[in-house]
Structure 1
Amino acid sequence: MSGVFTHRLRVRYSECDQQGVVFNGQYLFFYDVAVTELWRDRVGPYQEMIDRGFDLVVGEARVRFVEGARFDELLDIEMPVHHLGTTSMIIKPVFRVDDRLIADGEVRHVFVDPTTLKKKPMPPDIREALASSAV
């Protein structure tokens, strides 16, 4: 499978604030769902990676808000892998409703040992699997 992975979700009422738009903090939750689905699609079950002695932690996250998504809209989250380093990767998510840009950003993940949480080099097979989503 190649190309940028996109995950679609429907905005639920409970995710909206008093202004009737998605509360800003929800976008990182939406991102977390999308990265889990990216992993499932391109790499495989997340637990298998943990069983092999690798995990991911977020080292940095930034979200730029452009327009608010609203209740019951379909939100597409594009997940382009922007950078694959030795121990880290950067994904630059783009959130859209139809052609409307809702938000975008950048999230840096670091590969770690699940027990010690010390950095580890990215496994070659994971690098290869994610390269298909790279831009």
Structure 2
Amino acid sequence: MGEVFTHRLRVRYSECDQQGVVFNGHYLFFYDVALTELWRALVGEYGEMVEDGYDLVVAEARIRYREGARFDELLDVSMPVAHLGTTSMTVRPVFRVGERLIADGEVRHVFIDPASKAKREMPARVRSALRPYLDGTGAAPSA
């Protein structure tokens, strides 16, 4: 298994629902924050990629909820890269508070030309940066 990038967030009160747990819709937002930080750490400035004629869009997203994270807990979002295709990539985020599995899922992204919105081949520098983080298993995280 390759390396796994992990980003830590603190759950804010405004992200919790009336039951006192993180509202389900926030997990994709948390994923987006972690993906932005992964990109910044491994690939570089996202805006430079867009200026070079590449953008990244979500084509498919699935989150499986296991247990609710709560206000002020530290939530670790691990970002194993499950697939690097020709024009797409798949990340299987895992959300944990300590040893507790909170949620997991799968998000498929497609590289596009920002002007035409047509699919584009993944930039070589992106592939090189993400390859060490490719988990190689193709399997969903276990519970």
Q: Scaled by the length of structure 1, what TM-score is found?
A: 0.98
Give me the whole-angstrom Cα distance separating, in 2, the residues matched to 1:33 and 1:88: 19
How far does residue 62 in structure 1 lie from its aligned partner after superposition? 0.1
Percent identical residues: 70
Tell me which residue corresponds to 1:86. 86
Unmatched tracts of structure 1, length 5 or more: none
Read off the aligned partner of 2:112 and give its amino acid letter.
V
Read off the aligned partner of 1:66 and give its amino acid letter.
R
How far does residue 132 in structure 1 lie from its aligned partner after superposition? 1.5
How far does residue 110 in structure 1 lie from its aligned partner after superposition? 0.1
Structure 2 SS opposite 1:30: helix
Q: In the alignment, is residue 31 of structure 1 matched against residue 14 of structure 2?
A: no
Report matched runs for 1:44-123 at 5 Å. 44-123=44-123
Kindly report structure 1 stretches of 4+ aligned residues shifted beyond 4 Å: none
How far does residue 133 in structure 1 lie from its aligned partner after superposition? 1.1
How far does residue 124 in structure 1 lie from its aligned partner after superposition? 1.1
Give me the whole-angstrom Cα distance separating, in 1, the residues matched to 2:22 and 2:75: 11
How far does residue 115 in structure 1 lie from its aligned partner after superposition? 1.0
CA deviations over 1:80-120 (Å, ceiling 9, x no partner) = 00000000000000000000000000000000001111100
How far does residue 23 in structure 1 lie from its aligned partner after superposition? 0.1
Give me the whole-angstrom Cα distance separating, in 2, the residues matched to 1:132 and 1:42: 10
Unmatched tracts of structure 2, length 5 or more: 136-143
Q: Which 10-residue stretch deviates more, 89-98 or 125-134? A: 125-134
Give me the whole-angstrom Cα distance separating, in 2, the residues matched to 1:52 and 1:105: 30
Give me the whole-angstrom Cα distance separating, in 2, the residues matched to 1:97 and 1:4: 16
Tell me which residue corresponds to 2:13. 13
Read off the aligned partner of 2:76 and give its amino acid letter.
D
Give me the whole-angstrom Cα distance separating, in 1, the residues matched to 2:132 and 2:6: 13
Aligned residues: 134
Give me the whole-angstrom Cα distance separating, in 2, the residues matched to 1:125 and 1:29: 26
Read off the aligned partner of 2:91 and give its amino acid letter.
I
Q: Scaled by the length of structure 2, what TM-score is found?
A: 0.92
Tell me which residue corresponds to 1:125. 125
